[in-house]
């Protein structure tokens, strides 16, 4: 079954793997990125648009007719600091999905997987 998949954060390590995997399976992929020049992959089933993931109106336009949204949004902020990117973007993503009537959402993150802990460190989880 061919799906229309929207990938947010498609230029990151995880996002680029998701894009590649979806294309290999024959799906149509819309990669939503900040910087289109970071997408080097070319494919007939790949469309790339740049925009702000905090803009729910922009996202809703991109999500129309999609089967699933995959959020691979990430940050290079050291994991020992408080990170609100995931919470902040999820509001606009969910609002856009409601507007565009998209029912499926997958979120993927590797946040915290490279965290180095020592006895003097505090994690910024809250």
pLDDT at 85: 76
pLDDT at 124: 44
pLDDT at 41: 87
Give mean pLDDT, residues 104-114.
76
Q: Report yes or no on whether pTM surpasses 0.85.
A: no
* Contact between 114 and 77 (Cβ < 8 Å): no
Residue linked to tokens 């902020």:
77
Residues in the chain: 126
For 44-77, the pLDDT digits (tens) are: 999 999 999 999 999 999 999 999 999 998 876 6
Residue 106 has pLDDT above 50, yes or no: yes
pLDDT at 75: 74
Q: Which residues contact 40 (CB under 8 A, 6 or more apart)?
A: none
């Amino acid at each position: 079954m061919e799906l229309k998949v929207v990938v947010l954060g498609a230029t990151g390590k995880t996002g680029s793997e998701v894009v590649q995997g979806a294309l290999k399976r024959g799906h149509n992929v819309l990669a939503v990125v900040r910087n289109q020049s970071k997408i080097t992959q070319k494919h007939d089933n790949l469309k790339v648009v740049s925009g702000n993931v905090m803009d729910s109106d922009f996202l809703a336009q991109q999500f129309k007719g999609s089967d699933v949204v995959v959020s691979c949004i990430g940050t290079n902020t050291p994991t020992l600091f408080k990170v609100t990117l995931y919470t902040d973007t999820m509001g606009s993503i969910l609002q856009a999905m409601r507007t565009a009537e998209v029912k499926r959402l997958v979120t993927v993150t590797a946040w915290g997987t490279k965290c180095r802990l020592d006895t003097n460190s505090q994690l910024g989880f809250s």
